[in-house]
Structure 1
Amino acid sequence: MTIQAGRIRVLNDVEPRADGAYVVYLLQQANRAHFNPALEYAVAEANRLGVPVVACFGLLDGANGFPEANARHYAFLLQGLADARAGFDRRGIGFCLRKASPAEIAIDLARDAALLVLDRGYLAIQKRWYGEIVAAVKTRIVQVEGDVVVPVEVASTKHEYAARTLRPKLNRLFDDYIVGLSERTVKHRAGRGLPKAEIDIADPDAVLAGMTLDRDVPPVKRFTGGETEARRRLKAYLAGPFATYGAERNKPEAGAASHMSPYLHFGQISPVEIALAVRAARTGGDDDKTAYLEELIVRRELAMNHVHYTKGYESYADAVPEWARKTLAEHADDPRPHTYTEAELAAGETHDVHWNAAQAEMRETGYMHNHLRMYWGKKILDWSPSPEEGFRRTLRLNNRYFLDGRDANSFTNVAWVYGLHDRPWARRKVFGTVRYQSENSLKKFDAKAYLKTVAELCAAEGVKA
């Protein structure tokens, strides 16, 4: 299939350089060698221009590291880059990895390029990089969306109020965008004379050891990065656990989750590829497929919509709607039966054994089931000295420990705890009319079985829950 026109944006009014030595693709949001629209666009253009393709990645390190990223995040990222590099090698695509910002490596390699191709993310830091690139690069720049099913501006030109307002807009476009992607044959394979990598990613552990970063949050054994592992997990999931997704998706102990979120976060698998596989799955009925695609597309792309159209999505004042801030302010001085410091929350030292278990799963394995993420966040609001401080704590803990933290879903999910994409509910202490979630929600699943599961997961990481 061809790449939809809605995915492609030309960012400057410049023609490709006739004497360019290669087409360069800045690998940033879509870190994979297959089912990658930006890469396939780069290959097609390189074939047309008669030059090879060089993919590049700027590895942020030290004081210039990606905000809030630590050893856990970088280990998963580097594993994925090693896998992607192997895929590039098989296809005849060059790969250049350097310690630099994405903008710096793109600007440098674009000097001798016929064309620069970018993939796309929606965070402020990514938009800043794109702006720096456009300001400095003298050859044509084309950006190709491969991180969502429907490009954000194609789906909606404004900040959406809730999932119910975005859902029909997306549904109308599914047939146009949930389609396969043809993999182009590389006609001019990468050889000598192309930009060289400063870092050999063949041993990602060695690369990680040589970086200057926060090592207090270590890598996890539960998840291995890379598109090969993502596809293996997806195949195994659709062959079995998916059959009960519709009925058991809100039961953390049931094993009905796909665990695709870390791979989506790092761009190691395409959401379109997942959607196609879910639609074609022999297990699961229509209800299972509808429920899964709701989470994969509608909820995830509502988050992209939020960060794209909200300038201060990381701040309480800008991310939380006015009605919610008003009601929370009215109840800010309500007595709180329990309050904890952020250190106590991080250590899971509260009176709530189930909350502590959820925190342990996140802290030690980098993951927490979506149903418990809601409960987890609501309790931080309940146990913090103010809603503003609760918001900051929730975001810091989320971004520090989750493998899929620090992305559009993270910022949106945290803001949801405080009223985003929701409506007023019955008034109560501390929360005002913001939705409350009590311990009664734990009765919807086997909480004892979940405690046992967390203990086993933590033991596999070599720690106690």
Structure 2
Amino acid sequence: MAPPVKKLKTTENTPAFDAFLNSIEADRTKVGPSILEFSFNKKRARVLSKAKDLPEWAEGIMYWMTREERIQDNWSLLYAQRLAMKSKLPLHIYFCLRKTFMNAPIRHFKFLLKGLEEVANESEKLTIPFHMVISNEEGSNTVLDFVMENKIGCVVIDFSPLRIGRSWAEKLKEALPEDLPLVEVDGHNIVPCWIASDKLEYGARTIRNKINSKLNDFLTPFPPVIKHPYSGKLKSKEIDWQVAEASLEVDRSVDVVSWAKPGYINGIKMLYEFCNDRLKKFKDKRNDPLGNAISNLSPWFHFGQISVQRAILTVKSFKSANKESVECFCEEAIVRRELADNFCYYNPNYDKLEGAYDWAKKTLNDHRKDKREWLYTQEELEKSLTHDDLWNSAQIQLVTEGKMHGFLRMYWAKKILEWTESPEEALAITIYLNDRYSLDGRDPNGFVGCMWSICGIHDQGWKERQVFGKIRYMNYAGCKRKFDVEAFVSRYGGKVVKKKR
């Protein structure tokens, strides 16, 4: 029999939201009282090491948290707890806070740290020690020290398709003792990346059925992470979050935004608002930057503070009243998002012109020397100093709000291709600006969005024209047909700055 649902304490929440939040808790306990009563789909995990079984000397199981920064609805942590409970061993969560990471500014680190503070508090209540190490070293180095010092018998890690995450996993695998298992769990995708496809997919049409045909096996409810019944000598140390933030060696000029509050509770609140207020408009208004129809969930997805699978399960419960909008959201949040992971996982040049299809590389090279009517430097673009008031306004939104509407992000990126010396420069600037300001920067979706806009990834050749070649073109007039450009410009104040070649 499942234990009674524990009411979550929230502040400044409406009774309706509290009911929504606690209904999610209730859904978990309906599955079973713990992960041991749940049939875990073993295809979600894969053993990277030669060792498969725990060594006799094991005194604990460790989950190295990287991509999935939450307690509940976390397949990696659930796998680790299942193993620890079966082995009657303590369970530990480990996080390595890098003092600098892929040029992320303080905006992103503050979002990260607030979410981790919530994780640490919840894990303590569940008697799962949370250990955070602050370091400039590669994450795999600090993990190895922790494992050896504390006789950790198995390490569970999050899957990442990006080079840096994959290198951490590979280095750790090589450094661990031969008798110590290393297990990778894909808790970010609903269908694990390596299960969805074993190759680089050309586009949504080639991967859609591969993913959708497997959803019945993987789009399942979550059991709860419970209070861990086994404790050991190793306890977590108290974390001074202000000291942690002060230790960072990052750009502090790009600071927090007001609309996105970090952490699981705030992510669920955004999901609640989407389902109740915006979902009904999603099908018809999702491509309108003024339509207020999108989920706004990407920062919480990127930092792993809420689960995409939880979002899909919740959104699908609103299908009877919003069938077409729910289907459109599932297409974007499942198929398109998992296609991005597929691209980054199977294409090592996911952020370079070399990663483009042959037709795109050829057409961009053919038009490399075409005359550009307008040319801007990275600094001019960053400061919104162009002749295009819509583009300037979109850049201002990115800088001030840490986000940009998806339709505008395509226009924004394509204009950078049009206004810079080369496709390589355009791609580098686009990724730089996106990663510096957007809360969902340094993400497979971001890399693929830039590559789609500039290099035609997951697209086809279109009518040939100057500079773009056969890459899909977008212009100001087309935007005016889609939404009220004047209203958008008025909102963000992107004044025209005239400068010609």
Q: TM-score range by the shorter chain?
A: over 0.9
Q: Which runs of 5+ in 2 are unaligned?
A: 1-37, 495-501
Q: Which moved more, 1:177-186 or 1:119-128?
A: 177-186
Correspondent of 1:344 among 380, 386, 406: 380
1:127 maps to amino acid: R
Could you tell me which residue of structure 1 aligns to residue 432 of structure 2?
Answer: 396
Q: Deviations over 1:29-71 (max 9, x none)?
A: 111010001101111111111122110100111xxx2112121
- Which residue does 1:151 correspond to in 2? 192
- Measured in 2, the distance between the counterparts of 1:328 and 1:115 equals 48
Q: Is the 8 A contact 2:204 2:458 kept in 1?
A: yes
Q: What is the SS of the residue equivalent to 2:386? A: coil
CA contact 2:360–2:456 (8 Å) conserved in 1: yes
Instruction: Count residues in correspondence.
Output: 448
1:428 aligns with: 465
- Tell me the TM-score normalised to structure 2 length: 0.86
| Residue segments in structure 1 that go unaligned for 5+ positions in a row | 457-465
Aligned amino acid, residue 286 of structure 2: R
Assess if the C-alpha contact under 8 Å between 1:239 and 1:283 holds in 2: no
Verify: 1:322 aligned to 2:358, yes or no.
Answer: yes
DSSP-derived class of the 2:155 partner: strand
Query: 1:2-401 counterparts in 2 under 5 A?
Result: 2-14=39-51, 15-61=53-99, 65-100=100-135, 101-111=138-148, 112-138=151-177, 139-188=180-229, 190=231, 193-194=233-234, 196-197=236-237, 200=239, 203=241, 205-281=242-318, 284-317=321-354, 319-401=355-437
Cα distance in 1 between the residues matched to 2:366 and 2:313: 47
Q: Measure the CA separation in 2 of the matches of 1:130 and 1:284.
A: 44
Identity %: 33
Change (3 A) 1:454 1:293: farther
AA in 2 matched with 1:40: L
Q: Is the 8 A contact 2:279 2:322 kept in 1?
A: no
Work out the CA distance in 1 between the residues paired with 2:458 and 2:207.
11
Deviant stretches of 4+, over 6 Å: none
* Alpha-carbon separation, structure 2, partners of 1:50 and 1:189: 6
TM-score (norm 1): 0.93
CA RMSD in angstroms comes to: 1.8
1:412 lines up with 2:452 in the alignment: no
Q: Give, in whole Å, the separation in 2 of the partners of 1:13 and 1:430.
A: 51
Q: Distance in 2 between matches of 1:215 and 1:190?
A: 39
Secondary structure of 2:98's partner? coil
Cα distance in 1 for partners of 2:322, 2:165 equals: 38
Contact kept in structure 2, 1:57 and 1:105, CA below 8 Å: no
Question: Is the Cα contact below 8 Å between 2:71 and 2:225 reproduced in 1?
Answer: no
Q: Equivalent residue of 2:267, what SS?
A: helix
d(CA) in 1 for partners of 2:492, 2:218? 38
Cα displacement (A) at 1:368: 0.4
Q: Are the equivalent residues in 2 in contact too, given 1:230–1:260 (CA < 8 A)? A: yes
Q: Deviations over 1:271-306 (max 9, x none)?
A: 111110110026852110111011101111111001
The separation in 1 between residues aligned to 2:308 and 2:404, in whole angstroms, is: 20
Q: Cα 1:44–1:210, aligned 2, differ >3 Å: closer, same or farther? A: same
The aligned amino acid for 1:240 is: D
Paired residues of 2:140 and 2:172 also in contact (CA < 8 A): yes
Deviation at 1:189, TM superposition (A): 5.0
In structure 2, do the counterparts of structure 1 residues 281 and 452 end up closer, same or farther at CA, with 3 Å as the change threshold?
farther
1:328-387 CA-partner distances (Å, limit 9, x unpaired) = 121122222211111010001111111111101111111001010000000000111111
1:455–1:82 Cα change, 3 Å: farther
CA contact (8 A) 2:299 2:440 kept: yes
